[in-house]
Structure 1
Amino acid sequence: MRYFNPKALKSIFLLAIAFIICNSTNAQAQAAATTTKAPTINATGATAYIDKFFKTYEKDGTSRAIINIFKTNPLVDSTSLRGLIAKIDTTRALIGLYIGKELIVQRKASNSLILYSYLVKHQNQPVRFTFMFYKPKNDWLIYRLYFDDQVDNELEESAKINGKTP
């Protein structure tokens, strides 16, 4: 008949639990470190274009701001630009004076394709400008520019549970 030492068995059991907890904590810390790291966006040229855009938008108006930023893209269609300018100017007449901007989100598809979305504050209502930049070689160029006044609707929609209004 064998004799089991309860103290030795208890020590082995506690040691095994400590080992499991230590490994689990280490794995969680490594997972948190990799999931919380936001991709670094080094797009100094693109953000300079955005800053210049909003300074021009405030001081010289929509037309000059749009034309200046699209000078970076030699393939721009002037008809599309005129339509965008008209849409923004029509909206600006209704929403009042420009007050400022706040970054909503920035995304990076790769080192050559990035997106910045801004809440643009006006006296009566916010709008959104979304800039997409592409860097085919060394310099950023404006690839797409989106403008809409639906950011408040999207925010409201995001608060719904099972399609019901809050």
Structure 2
Amino acid sequence: MRPLPTITKQYTIRKIILIFSLILYTSTIYGQYSKSSEALTAEFFAMYKRDTNAAFDFIFETNEWLANDKEEIDKIKAEVLEYKTTLGDYMGFEKLINKHIGGNLNVFVYLVKYERQPLKFIFKYYKSKNKWMLYKFKIEENIDKDIDKIIEHELLNKF
């Protein structure tokens, strides 16, 4: 058996490199396109720690209809900026609720911790055309009602 000519070996190596590059490129594009709602929220909070405005731009860009409502996005950004001045420094976050409703709706509720008091962020995601997108977002400052309901529920179950 004769050894393959050098040209064929180079051709084979180039072919392997090309195939590998295409696979890597395709998986990267598919990975960005199909991020889970959990991954979107994790990326939001990673950005929120550094730049709240960029975090909101990112999460609202997952839904082209919400991204076009610049007035609402700017309102939320201004609200968060006001919270920074009245509530102190951002101290982190904690997931309170992770609810999957069917295969195409997810709701996440987070406690967003500031020095003075926490806020509640509610993310509602919808999966359309195999892509998760933010469907609704809400910030709640007064979480006392929730705490009171939990306490009342616990007391009723105790007796």
Q: Calculate the TM-score normalised by the size of structure 1.
A: 0.66
Q: Which residue of 1 aligns with 2:7?
A: none
In structure 2, what is the Cα distance between the partners aligned to 1:58 and 1:152?
25
Partner of residue 63 from structure 2, selected from 58, 61, 73: 73
Q: Which residue of 2 aligns with 1:116?
A: 108
- Give runs of aligned pairs for residues 72-91 of structure 1, distance below 5 A: 72-76=62-66, 77-91=69-83
- CA RMSD of superposed structures (Å): 2.0
**SS state at 1:150 partner:** coil
- Give runs of aligned pairs for residues 6-155 of structure 1, distance below 5 A: 45-60=36-51, 62-76=52-66, 77-155=69-147
Structure of higher CA gyration radius: 1
Aligned residues: 119
Q: Which has more helix, going by share of residues?
A: 2
Q: CA deviation at 1:47?
A: 1.0
Q: CA deviation at 1:160?
A: 4.4
Q: Which residue of 2 aligns with 1:20?
A: none
**SS state at 2:63 partner:** coil
CA-to-aligned-CA distance 1:49-80 (integer Å, 9 cap, x gap): 111111111111x2111011111111111111
Alpha carbons 2:35, 2:131 under 8 Å: kept: no
**SS state at 2:144 partner:** helix
Q: Which residue of 1 aligns with 2:3?
A: none
Unaligned runs of 5+ in 2: 1-33, 154-159
In structure 2, what is the Cα distance between the partners aligned to 1:69 and 1:111?
20
In the TM superposition, structure 1's runs of 4+ consecutive aligned residues that sit over 2 Å from their partners are: 156-161
In structure 2, what is the Cα distance between the partners aligned to 1:153 and 1:69?
27
CA-to-aligned-CA distance 1:103-160 (integer Å, 9 cap, x gap): 1111122100110000111111111111011001111011111111122332034434
